[in-house]
A and B are shown apart, each in its own frame.
Chain A
Amino acid sequence: MPFVNEILKYKSLAIVGLEKNTGKTECLNYVLKNIHDKQKKLAVTSIGVDGETVDAVTFTKKPEIIVYEGMLFVTSKKHFKEKQLTANILDILNISTPLGRLVIAEAVDTGKIRLSGPSITTDTVRVIERLNSLGTELTIVDGALSRLSLSSPTVTDAMILATGAALSANIPTLVRQTKFVVDLINLPLTKPEIREKLADISGVCAVTDDNEIKDLGINSVFTMNKEHDDVFKYGYTIYSAGAVNDKFLKMLKIQKHVAETTLIVNDFTKIFAEPETYYSFLRKGGKIEVVHKTKLLALTLNPWAPNGYSINSEEARNQLFNATQIPVYDVKE
């Protein structure tokens, strides 16, 4: 996988699975194995809990995470105690998780660990900052792309997306669903003048042509009330800090000024719309932009599904590449 050299250009990388058992852990292990001797101080952490020996839902055996001598890692107290390597404790952070406070340690030898990490974005940022202050040059985040996750993997500079037969055993479906997420990840950044201003805002607001932020008094598009809330009173550029649902995007889509409408979201994980709605909004001239963007380096494919089905790896990779123009690698090869 030649993308390894590409990874070294960044300070932080998230590895995100589109579905359970899409080979995220294999991908993570592959990356760690291939970059640990590249003269960079590495650290690995995760968003939420991951790396269980047996997946709690499907009881499928999951490969464990192997960290190499000299690498830093972050995990909860509970998982730290279960480590299968010698590790030098460097710090204990004041960030609590259901499995205890987070420990930063340096592997004294090579061995297996289970990763658990902070569950909210601000804590993930804090962890990465602390790792940097301890001399880390590249932090790899095992990122869950769960709809329930409060921590967004877009806090990292770069990303690898793991997809596979676990998502769909039908190649066209797999390609369509993967392409949709790739399109979201590739959404353009909003203009720099308003990016910083929007980063601290919560709720829903409007951005005027003069880049002024106007509060719309709406906490979330979920609690919006059509009768009382006039979303368009300050123009057609709308920012939503929280999630944007299908209903809201549909509402924007049917307005007569849809072509002048720009929807800005914090990052791509905030969009919870059906692909049909999303593409139809764009076709009608609507624009979507993000405040935080991450560079998608590669796709990895796991041709095996946990139920035993497999797909033709080469065909799937070709079709994925044709649809997304992003390099695709098979984690099992």
Chain B
Amino acid sequence: MSKNKSPKLKEVYNALPSFKFMIDTLELSTPFTLRYLNETCFYSDQIKIESNCNDIATVITRLHSDKDTIDEIRSKLHVMREIRGSINNINRGNTLDDIELFEIKSFALIYEEIRSLFLSAFDSSFMFLPDLAKVVALLDPDNSKMTMFYIYDSYSEELAAIRKEIKILSAETIDAKTEALRLSAEALEDSIRERLSSELSSFAEDLDYAFNGIIRLDILIAKALQSTTWNLCKPSVSSHKTIITAMTNPFVADALNKVGGRFQPVNISLDENPCLITGANMSGKTVVLKTIACIQYLFQFGFFIPAIHAEIKPVDAIMLSMGDGQDETQGLSSFAAEILKINDIIKHIKNDNKTLVLIDEPARTTNPIEGSKIVNAILKMLSEYKVMSLVTTHYDDIMPDVRRLRVKGLTADENELKQVTKDNINNFIDYSLIDTDNKEVPQEAIKIAKILGVDVDFLKNIE
């Protein structure tokens, strides 16, 4: 993921569980939208992000004012058919078979219903949905408006006559004469299919717009629904900094909810400089990084944001090092895998500093003396190239002139501390991030170990 400058949605989906959760909870209606959504690339362009967000906002207002229409559109989207392959066949000049003609007809019929619902709820300038009435007319010569298809008698009088004859004969028996009639009927049907296909080719572009329009409409409605369900906010695009108020991580929040816990929203602001986060173990530093990664991706794939307020700077790439890249199959230790990943990041920012870099506890697996040198070097380069970035660490001796945030951490006093256990510890931690000048890192590892209930002799030996 981190190597790819402009990843497709499905790559992020596979790499980042928080993001996957957001896609999984998206209520898409057609059976094929997800496949196309998976292939979308992340927007780096400010205008695209903004217009997409405005579109979601428009759909949200309709969800409030005209919910029935949106619901009806959604129920019709459910029975939409994938016709991309048939459109390609039309463009190639191929003759379509009855099954393809059925699928195009069925698509066009339901599309027309959706289109008229759409026009009753939205301004026509909101999205271009071409008129497919002529496609319907071509494939529904009897004007039945039913989703069914065959080469109708009304396409050819000659065909109708032959079929009549077949019907009379085959009521008795199926013999050589009906076979011969059938062959001539088939030849006629073939020529009609050919004619229909060539007539359809003049609507190929419209069909293409209609098909893409349906996918876009489905995605916008699903995003709008998700935004209302999860109380997401419309982000605004910022040119140089990111400020997020009360950000949450729906994936973690959902897991916490299931065990009766609650996710504490956190504020954060980032500018074009590195920022160092310190905090005790279990204080949620890693979750902060993953949440920011998820939010940045949601933003650049045109989603609303799980926060109360969000101004976000678009980037060209998001690069994440979670230090969990141990890969024995390649004979790399966890340190080696991590340092190579960080090296990729460094090489990347030298060419493109419009990147969001998130590094969780770099060099944690090596000795603290060299470890803190490595962290210092990373921060130095991130400062030099003016990269918006977050680095977490437990190490002391980190260079003085970098912005620092600290997780407030364990708030329990001496008395409360006695009640804290590994099951309720979350309730006693304040996950807020506060700016600090204090260069010392919080030292609460032993306290946490005690709460977790480690062996008494073991503790004595530690102390």
Residues of A within 8 A of B (CB): 66, 69, 77, 80-81, 84, 86-92, 94, 103, 105-106, 108-112
Contact = CB atoms under 8 A, between A and B. Distances in A.
Interface residues on B, range: 20 to 34
B254 interface: no
B97 A69 contact: no
12 contacts: A80-B98, A80-B99, A81-B97, A81-B99, A88-B148, A91-B147, A94-B31, A103-B99, A108-B150, A109-B167, A110-B167, A111-B174
B147 to A, nearest CB: 8
Interface string B135-163: 00000000000011111000000000001
A77 B97 CA distance: 10
Contacts of B348: none
Contact of B174 (A66, A80, A103): A66
B185 interface: yes
A79 to B, nearest CB: 12
A109 B102 contact: no
Contacts of B171: 110
A112 B98 CA distance: 17
A110 B170 CA distance: 6
Given A81-B97, A86-B150, A111-B182, 9 more contacts: A80-B98, A87-B150, A89-B149, A92-B99, A103-B99, A105-B150, A109-B166, A110-B174, A111-B170
Contacts of A87: 150
Contacts of B81: 92
Interface in B68-109: 81, 97-99, 102-103
B99 A89 contact: yes
A80 B98 CA distance: 10
A103 B81 CA distance: 14
Interface of B: 31, 81, 97-99, 102-103, 147-151, 163, 166-167, 170-171, 174, 182, 185
Contacts of B102: 89, 92
A113 to B, nearest CB: 12
Given A109-B166, A109-B167, A86 B185 contact: yes
A275 B98 CA distance: 49
Contact of A77 (B99, B149, B150, B185): B99
A162 to B, nearest CB: 23
Given A80-B99, A94-B31, A89 B150 contact: yes
Contacts of B99: 77, 80-81, 89, 92, 103
Nearest to A110: B170
Nearest to B146: A90
Contacts of B182: 84, 111
B87 to A, nearest CB: 16
Contacts of A86: 150-151, 163, 185
A31 to B, nearest CB: 17
A92 B166 CA distance: 27
Nearest to A106: B148
Contacts of A105: 150
Contacts of A108: 150, 163
Nearest to A77: B99
A63 to B, nearest CB: 11
Nearest to B97: A81
A103 B102 CA distance: 11
A105 B170 CA distance: 19
B98 A89 contact: yes
The 7 closest A-B pairs by CB, nearest first: A89-B102, A88-B150, A110-B170, A90-B148, A109-B167, A88-B148, A89-B149
Nearest to A83: B98
B188 to A, nearest CB: 11
Contacts of A81: 97, 99
Contacts of B148: 88-90, 106
Contacts of A106: 148
A87 B152 CA distance: 10
A233 B261 CA distance: 41
B348 to A, nearest CB: 42
B347 to A, nearest CB: 45
Contacts of B185: 86
B163 to A, nearest CB: 6
A89 B31 CA distance: 20
Given A86-B185, A103-B99, A112 B174 contact: yes
Nearest to B189: A86
B30 to A, nearest CB: 12
Contacts of A90: 147-148
Nearest to A66: B174
Contacts of B98: 80, 89
Contacts of B167: 69, 109-110
A43 B147 CA distance: 18
Contacts of B97: 81
A66 B174 CA distance: 10
A186 to B, nearest CB: 38
Given A81-B97, A92-B99, A92-B102, A109 B170 contact: yes
A91 B98 CA distance: 12
Residue in B31, B99, B147 whose Cβ sees the most chain A Cβ within 10 Å: B99
A238 to B, nearest CB: 36
B321 to A, nearest CB: 41
Residue in A69, A86, A92, A106 whose Cβ sees the most chain B Cβ within 10 Å: A86
A94 B167 CA distance: 32
A92 B102 CA distance: 9
Nearest to A84: B182
Contacts of A111: 170, 174, 182
B183 to A, nearest CB: 10
A86 B149 CA distance: 11
A110 B182 CA distance: 11
B24 to A, nearest CB: 20
Contacts of B174: 66, 110-112
Residue in A80, A81, A94, A108 whose Cβ sees the most chain B Cβ within 10 Å: A108
A169 B167 CA distance: 41
A108 B167 CA distance: 9
A109 B181 CA distance: 13
Contacts of A84: 182
Nearest to B164: A109
Contacts of A88: 148-150
A87 B186 CA distance: 12
B103 A92 contact: yes
A131 to B, nearest CB: 14
Contacts of A91: 147
Contacts of A92: 81, 99, 102-103
